[in-house]
Structure 1
Amino acid sequence: MSESTTVEQRWVAFGPAGAVGAIHRTAEGFQMKLLDDDTYRGTYPTLEVAKSALHAALEPGSEWPDFREH
């Protein structure tokens, strides 16, 4: 049996150099990963918490990304 995740909404995070990561809303919560990640880094209860987690995963001193829903 394989597991599957249905993505209900997606936000792409953009920094000065372009896209840096994404947040996906699923039935379980909000999942976050950076572009280079193979898997999600975790599931978070709210979009704001997932945005904060994504920002925290960026290099120290990185600006807050611009999140755009896709």
Structure 2
Amino acid sequence: MMDNTGTWVAVGPAGAVGSIRRAPDGFQVELYGRRGRGGTYPSLESAKGAVHAALGPLADRPEFRAH
């Protein structure tokens, strides 16, 4: 089921780590405190995967909260 919101915040154990925004060409990822990391992805699931991957190999998958 597709969520109709336009923004999702990624929340990990230490708080918010990034966000995903719906864009005309896909889903744009912003990673908090990490310059030059992010980008636009074709699907919400691929954007969520990119946020998780950017956290490092041992990081738990963050919770994505629609806003």
**What interval of TM-score do these two structures reach, taking the shorter chain for normalisation?**
0.7 to 0.9
Alignment equivalent of 1:49, drawn from 26, 46, 50: 46
Question: Structure 2 CA distance, aligned partners of 1:63 and 1:18?
Answer: 13
TM-score normalized with structure 2 length: 0.83
Displacement of 1:60: 2.4
After superposition, give the CA deviation of every residue in 1:16-63 in whole Å (9 maximum; x if it has no partner): 111000001011110101111456621111000000011001132000
TM-score normalized with structure 1 length: 0.80
Question: Structure 1 CA distance, aligned partners of 2:19 and 2:12?
Answer: 12
Q: What is the alpha-carbon root mean square deviation over aligned residues? A: 1.7
Runs (4 or more) in structure 1 with deviation over 6 Å come to: none
The answer for the alignment partner of 1:10 in structure 2 is 7
The answer for the alignment partner of 1:32 in structure 2 is 29
Q: Percent identity?
A: 54
Structure 2: gaps spanning 5 or more residues: none
Task: Compare CA radii of gyration and give the structure with the larger one.
Answer: 1
- The count of corresponding residues between Structure 1 and Structure 2 is 63
Structure 1: gaps spanning 5 or more residues: 1-7
